[in-house]
A and B are shown apart, each in its own frame.
Chain A
Amino acid sequence: MNKILLGKIVHYLLLLIGALSFLYPFIWMVSATLKPENEIANLSLIPSHITFDSYRAVFDKIPIVRSFLNSLFVSSAITASVLVFSSMVGYAMTFLSFRGKNLIFYIMLFTMMIPFQITLIPTYILIVKLGLADSYLALILPFMVSAFGIFLFKQYFSSIPRDLIDAARIDGSSEVMILFRVIWPNAFPALVTVGIITFLTTWNEVLWPLIVIREQSMMTMPQMVTLFAIGGSAESQQGVILASAMLLAIPVIIIYIFFQRYFIESMASSGVKG
């Protein structure tokens, strides 16, 4: 009995060391942003006095609020678009029969395998030629439909009984109405999975904005924080740079605390299936 208890304690101790190695750096970061600049190097987590100077400096130096709103708008627009269009295609692939359906399926497989390194430059040129550089459309347009989303929806829709659709068709519903009134309410897990993954990847995307956005007022939040951290305007003050990173992390951390189960399960399932 004692041996089992001891085993349990050791096990918890190991888990705790694991958890701390992931959490401690974040805790240290919070503390560093609240310390006076000259105390950041100290090992102690507790500052001699709490100061918001670092945060104040971020707000003074860069339009971080504007970039937050840009990111929020762009990520929401992409997520909404992916949910609507990908579920539409997923629906068509599952419940409709039409010519070229298999062809579309193979095309999709193919798109998912093209690495972005090939499309990056031509897409950038396309955006420039369309006169869309430095616009929201430049950030949104290339990500409006996702083959990955279509796959997940198709997979999930296959488990929805056909009778449901046949009944709705007899009632005279159009296919679009069936999708949004009948299928969507029955596909909550798929919507959550695609929604979380799309939002998170677009929120965190930084290479694409760095390429198509040069105008400061149009920059996304990760882009602005990146340029702030490597550029001169932070005057290499660690506390200020860390504070800008903290501001970028806070929205995701807050959402994650409440919905961590959905985040983990969504990403785990997408990886296993994709």
Chain B
Amino acid sequence: MSSPYLIFFLIFSVYPILFSLTLVFHRWNIISPMKFVGLENISYLIHDPLFWKSITNTFYFLLIHIPLQVVLALVLANALNRKMRGMTFFRASFFLPVVISGVVVTILWKSLYSTETGLLNNLLIQLGLFKIPWLTSVHWAMPSIAIMATWKNVGLYTVFFLAGLQGIPRHLYDAAELDGASAFQQFIHITVPILNPVVLMVVILSTINGFNLFIEPYVTTGGGPVNSTLSVVLYIYRQAFSFYKMGYAATLGFSLAMIIFIVTLIQKRVLEKDM
């Protein structure tokens, strides 16, 4: 009964990986025959400013997205972790953006972010502040996308943290209280260490998410202004399906996979040692 899986695995995993590896050493636009170019794709990649731009863009995104995500999810999970009426409603509303298609969320936020007519800038003006060029400024565009992505995903991580919080035995807090620990001390010395594995998971999932950023810049900015929101997947998409550089796109894909692997490995090391 495992045969469907084995057949599927051969066609949709083994073959693509081998083929992808072959493509790294070739130049190919699908139509004309494949041409062996040795390490040309790799050396092109090393000197490709747009590739490195897309990588630094992603790190910039993660730098804002991950801390925001972890802190907000922890706060929301703590707020939900009470035996009070209406918690189901609150949990469900935090989670709503998670189930809604990224396309909807992105279109919605593009409207909210609109410099002249957007809700956010209208609100800022009402408060007597100034307009922010959310998606049209080189400095603001990536942070704006990071805020939007956090809004979309934070509900999921809230639920992860909530499950973690509910697994902490009550008597730990009781003992700490007897010893005179404040609520904040309890949070730092009991809650945070126990939730460390969940934090690690949230960090790794957000990182993978960040490296896979596609639809958000595709719909809101098209990678602009001046490539400030060009993501790696968007760059691969363009190389492959706008320019038909299959060999180079495959090289980009492999490099991205390796970068994700290395980054998450480092995160795992650091976070597991940390506490």
Contacts and interface: CB of A to CB of B under 8 A. Distances in A.
A and B together in one complex: yes
Interface of A: 8, 11-12, 14-15, 18-19, 21-23, 25-26, 28-29, 32, 40-41, 43, 85, 88-89, 91-93, 96, 98, 101, 104, 107-108, 111, 114-126, 128, 141-142, 144-145, 150, 175-176, 179, 200, 203-204, 206-207, 210-211, 222, 225-226, 229-230, 238, 241-242, 244-246, 248-249, 252-253, 256, 260-261, 263-264, 267-268, 271-272
Nearest to B198: A272
Nearest to A120: B253
Interface size classification for chain B? 35 or more
B16 A126 contact: yes
A144 B19 contact: no
A175 to B, nearest CB: 6
A43 B99 contact: no
A210 B219 CA distance: 13
A22 B223 CA distance: 26
Interface in B147-171: 151, 155-156, 159-160, 162-163
Interface of B: 1-2, 4-6, 8-9, 11-13, 15-17, 19-20, 23, 30, 76, 79-80, 82, 84, 86, 88-104, 107-112, 114, 116-119, 122-123, 126, 151, 155-156, 159-160, 162-163, 201, 205, 208, 212, 214-215, 218-219, 222, 232-233, 236-237, 240-241, 246, 249-250, 252-254, 256-257, 260
A43 B19 contact: no
Contact of A117 (B9, B116, B151, B257): B257
A179 B4 CA distance: 15
B214 A96 contact: no
A217 to B, nearest CB: 19
The SS class assigned to the A binding surface is helix
A117 B256 contact: yes
B243 to A, nearest CB: 13
A23 B100 CA distance: 12
Given A43-B126, A125-B246, A211-B241, A225 B159 contact: no
Given A18-B94, A43-B122, A268-B159, A126 B1 contact: no
A28 B256 CA distance: 38
B220 to A, nearest CB: 9
A89 B219 CA distance: 38
B216 to A, nearest CB: 11
B100 A253 contact: yes
A245 B104 contact: yes
A249 B159 contact: no
Contacts of B253: 117-118, 120-121
B102 A43 contact: no
19 contacts: A15-B86, A18-B94, A21-B151, A23-B93, A89-B2, A92-B1, A98-B2, A114-B257, A115-B212, A117-B252, A117-B257, A122-B16, A200-B99, A210-B237, A210-B241, A242-B107, A256-B96, A267-B159, A272-B201
B123 A43 contact: yes
A246 B100 CA distance: 10
Q: Which 10 A-B pairs have the closest CB atoms?
A: A122-B16, A41-B117, A92-B1, A119-B16, A122-B19, A117-B253, A245-B107, A19-B93, A204-B101, A145-B8
A93 B5 CA distance: 11
Contact of A248 (B23, B88, B104, B109): B104
Contacts of A268: 156, 159-160, 162-163
A125 B22 CA distance: 13
Given A93-B2, A96-B1, A114-B13, A248 B117 contact: no
A18 B4 contact: no
A140 to B, nearest CB: 12
A85 B12 CA distance: 15
A229 B219 contact: yes
B45 to A, nearest CB: 14
Nearest to A129: B30
B107 A225 contact: yes
B88 A261 contact: yes
A125 B111 contact: no
Contact of A264 (B8, B76, B95, B237): B95
Contacts of A43: 119, 122-123, 126
B156 to A, nearest CB: 6
Nearest to A175: B1
Contacts of B212: 115-117
B30 A125 contact: yes
Contacts of A26: 96, 108
